Copies of this chain bind each other. A is one copy, B any other.
Amino acid sequence: MTYLNSTNIETYSHRFKVQLINSLSGFKSANLIATTNTQGQTNLAMFSSVVHLGADPALVGFIIRHHTTARHTLENIQQMRTYTINQVSGRFWQQAHQTSARYLQHECEFERTGLTVRYLQGISAPFVEESRLKYALSLNSIIPIPANNTHMVIGNITNIFCESVAIREDGYIDIEMLDTVAISGLDSYHVSTRLSRLSYAKRDKPVEILPLGGAPFSPVGGRN
């Protein structure tokens, strides 16, 4: 085991610290957040901090820093109050990573990275056509995090688009089947291999291996 304390860590270069500390939280989600401004100009940015907040009401949060290229995402969400989150999959993970380049304000990340803008169901924010699981959100709140001058942006999930084959009868979405990628550290991308699903833990019996969640879900007909 290597042991590092605050005093050691302080002596490392900024770059080293960024790599090290980014690795500590474990695997991170890979999502593209798409917005427009009031002039209809699109913005697309990669985030690894999207986090589930609750199912009922359906809420998702993400962390944003003001001084980064992500500031246009925040400005657009504040103006328009609508945005989309698009899971990144094996088809376009390198293009997704490329969106984090410091493009100029008039440059369009969709165009520059070769990803496709798609508008759906009259929602004002664009979606990423290539994404296999994506959803629109309505801004709920922006919570300041004084500890390091960042913010958590919280949205209510309003419209979900998902490849039908991945939604199981019990509601579980098989994101592994969608080839959704995970991130470790700052820049490492991974696909997954399922160990298994596990039963709800009870205090007086061991957990059990669960099947994948029954037949594919059908929104028309047998709704759970």
**Which residues of A are at the interface with B, using a C-beta cutoff of 8 A?**
1-6, 8-9, 11-31, 48-61, 63, 65, 85, 87-88, 90, 93-94, 97-104, 107, 112, 120-121, 133, 135, 140-141, 143, 145-148, 150, 152, 154, 156-164, 167-168, 170-176, 180-182, 184-203, 206-207, 210, 213, 217, 219, 223-224
Establish whether residues B8 and A182, one from each chain, have CB atoms under 8 Å apart when the complex forms. Answer: no
- Additional A-B contact list (13), CB under 8 Å, known A4-B219, A25-B31: A12-B171, A19-B213, A21-B56, A26-B175, A26-B180, A27-B29, A49-B51, A53-B147, A98-B201, A107-B203, A172-B188, A187-B198, A192-B193
Establish whether residues B171 and A19, one from each chain, have CB atoms under 8 Å apart when the complex forms. Answer: yes
Establish whether residues A103 and B219, one from each chain, have CB atoms under 8 Å apart when the complex forms. Answer: no
State the oligomeric state as a number of copies: 2
Establish whether residues A167 and B2, one from each chain, have CB atoms under 8 Å apart when the complex forms. Answer: yes
Partner of A20, one of B18, B60, B173: B173
Given contacts A58-B21, A189-B195, contact A103 B3 (CB under 8 A): no
